[in-house]
Amino acid sequence: MLLTCQIEEKLTKEFSPLFLKIEDDSHRHVNHGNYSVGGESHFTITLISKNFTDLSRLQRHQQVYTCLQKELKSKIHALCLKLFSPEERAALSE
């Protein structure tokens, strides 16, 4: 199973997202350390979940890191996280 699919499965199970987008940014890091041929080492994740309501930015990141701890130890080199509650995302759209 592709790492992107594993990440999607775990995040969906843990956060029941209203929106989830996982972008593989590995191609932008071809000449950087920890780049692996075939990519799947650098990701941008945008996630909207009710679980993030009333949590600080740090607490949200900690929850995602905990969910993906196995992948972070062995496969993921870098994560860019964009984590929102539904209310925050709606306010940004206005």
pLDDT in tens, 21-38: 999 988 665 666 555 556
Q: How far apart are alpha carbons 30 and 4 in whole angstroms?
A: 18
Closest to 47 in 3D by CA, of 2, 77, 14: 14
Average pLDDT, stretch 34-47?
77
- Residue-level pLDDT at 91: 85
Partners of 47 in beta bridges: 20, 83
Q: How far apart are alpha carbons 46 and 22 in whole angstroms?
A: 7
> What domains are there in the chain, each with its CATH number?
23-29+42-94 (3.30.300.90)
pTM score of the predicted model? 0.85
